[in-house]
Amino acid sequence: MFTTKYQICIIWIVIMVLWTPEYVSAKKDSGNKSIASIGTAFIVEEDVGKAREDAVKDALSSAVEIAVSQLLTDDLIETHFQNISDQIYNSTQKFIKGYKVIVECQSGEFYRVMVRSTVAMDTLKVNVNSVGISLSPKKMPHILFFISEQSIENYPYLWWKYQPDVPQSVLSEKTFQKAMNQEHYQIVDRNKLTPQIWGDPAFQSGDLSDAAAIAIAKQNGAEIAIVGHTEAHLTPGIMGTNVSSVEAIIRVKAFHSETGKIIAETMQVSRAVSADKTVGAEEAIIQASQFAADDIIKQLSKQIDNVTAPSKIDMFVTGTSQLGNFVALRRILSNDVQGIVAIRLKEMKSNQARIEIDFPESAKVLAQRLMLIRFDSFGIQISDVTDSQLNLTILSKEDMSRMNQIQEQSIDSE
């Protein structure tokens, strides 16, 4: 078959694209990326020079489009396409720090080039943010699992009821954890909370109540409690063979621990055949659990902002002139108070400060948790607590001693 010079041109460009590593994985260098792209232009009135210039511009625009696609998902690009087109695609030159034409050729009425461009990713990110798209990773909620599992001819395993040294994970839970880890959900380490559970009669029953699971999840900073049961049983196998057929059923509900409401639920069924019924059961359980995890994740993705968005609480602190105690208070707020997501010092005056706290519950709950903490070098007094605000006074040891004396005198006088 006769191969024209135009076909050779196209083949050569394709080879260069496949050979050039930057096309697949762009290099990073101080916020810059090297990206290979192809540009095409129509040759008008045999003006090859103008066509080459237009092809280079087309390649540079393509490089920026490739960079945008590496920063954003297809859904984000689709949602913000008009703004991205106006603010980024219409002014691609400002994102190009330099370029080099790798290969070029004329192909019939078209001129094509392959260009390696250096794209200023920092500048691109600033412009992406300016059109209302946040590139910051979304904070994913904490999850606590209560999934029981009963395989063929076995008793159901409930990690919260039995008391091994290290609570085991059943196959369905492991499958869920893997799927949710891939989506960056944060899994609560239950080894830290088993002492609480083992001492609670509510967790020694074979039928764990949703309310008990929700309460312990909330108590340990998990925004979501996933409660479920998996069961595998034999079904009629293949007649005349030793092959076993196994069916697995999993039912799962996801609760928002703050409201106690169901925010996702699913039931999935899977079947597997195997000469070894145990192997077949494992395959069926894993497959059904994967289906369930995918469905729960899909449902949760529509509600993540509502689940994870913490309330903002204003804490007005008096006694900040005792700087060491104020620093210690802030450290305790950051590290020791369960549920606090972030703290920010918003205002500092003489002996007073205002701290903004991201906390998923009310200021009243925050006050209760603070009162449970033992402060070694100082004390606190909390007053004027509303749903979104509280006043806190830092007390020195001398202040606490005087208050104790006043209380004792008051008791004696009575």
CATH code, 278: 3.40.50
- At 51-71, the pLDDT tens digits run 999 999 999 999 999 999 888
Residue 377, pLDDT > 90, answer: no
b/e per residue 48-80 (b: at least 16 CB within 10 A): eeebbebbbbbbbbbbbbbbbeeebeeebbeeb
Q: Where is pLDDT greater, at 331 or 169?
A: 331
Q: Are residues 113 and 180 in the same domain?
A: no
Within this chain, do residues 199 and 80 fall inside the same structural domain, yes or no? no
Boundary of a domain, candidates 307, 323, 346: 307
Q: Cα(320)–Cα(246) distance, rounded to whole angstroms?
A: 66
Indicate whether 20 pLDDT > 50: no
Helix or strand (DSSP H, E) at 52: helix 48-71
- H-helix or E-strand spanning residue 120: strand 110-120
Q: How far is CA 45 from CA 9, 42, 49, 50, in A?
A: 21, 10, 11, 10
Clarify whether residues 84 and 185 are in a common domain.
no
Q: In what order do the strands lie in the sheet with 224-235?
A: 186-187, 142-150, 224-235, 244-256, 262-274
**Residue (of 10, 35, 27, 221) closest to 116 by Cα position:** 35
Dihedral angle over CA of 336, 326, 393, 319, nearest 10: 180
Average of pLDDT values for 15-41? 61
Domain limits for position 334:
311-399
Strand partners, 394: 380
- 412 — pLDDT class (breaks 50, 70, 90): low
Backbone angles phi, psi at 236, to 5 degrees: -55, 125
Q: What's the one-letter identity of residue 335? A: N
Looking at the fold, whether 126 and 198 belong to one and the same domain comes out as no
Grade residue 23 by pLDDT with cuts at 50, 70 and 90. very low
Label each residue of 368-379 as H, E or C: HHHHCCCCCCCE
Note the pTM of the prediction, 2 decimals: 0.49
Residue 252 pLDDT = 96
pLDDT bucket at 87, cuts 50 / 70 / 90: confident
Per the prediction, the chain carries an average pLDDT of 82
Phi, psi of 146 (to 5 degrees): -130, 75
- pLDDT score of 406: 66
Out of 285, 307, 329, a domain closes at 307
Which pLDDT score, from 0 to 100, does residue 359 have? 82
Residue 136 resides in a domain: no
Q: What is the pLDDT of residue 303?
A: 76
pLDDT of 164 = 53
The kind and range of the H/E element at 386 are: none
What is the pLDDT at residue 343? Answer: 87
Paired with 268 in beta bridges are 250
pLDDT tens digit sequence for 129-161:
777 776 665 678 899 999 999 988 778 888 887
Taking CA atoms, 335 is separated from 232, 329, 342, 403, in Å, by 43, 10, 10, 28
Integer Cα distance of 243 and 280 in angstroms: 9
The predicted structure's pLDDT at residue 141: 87
Residue-by-residue DSSP string for 167-233: ----HHHHHHHHHHHHTT-EE--GGGTHHHHHT-GGGSSSS--HHHHHHHHHHTT-SEEEEEEEEEE
- Whether residue 204 sits in one domain with residue 74: no
- Can you tell me the distance from the alpha carbon of 303 to that of 70, in angstroms, rounded to the nearest whole number? 25
Average pLDDT over residues 200-210: 80
Question: Which conformational region is residue 230 in: left (phi greater than 0), alpha (psi within -120 to 50 degrees), or beta?
Answer: beta
Higher-pLDDT residue of 353, 304: 353
Does one domain contain both 255 and 374?
no
- H or E element that contains 271: strand 262-274
Identify which of 3-7, 11-15, 22-26, 319-323 has the greatest average pLDDT: 319-323
Number of domains in the chain: 3
Same domain, 45 and 66: yes
Give first-to-last CA distance, the chain, whole Å.
Answer: 113
Domain boundary among 83, 102, 130: 130
DSSP 246: E
Return the number of other C-beta atoms located less than 10 Å from residue 327's C-beta: 11
CATH number of the domain that 124 lies in?
Answer: 3.30.1660.40
Same domain, residue pair 303 and 345: no
Whole-number percent of the chain with pLDDT over 90:
35
Sign of torsion, CA 392 398 403 404? positive
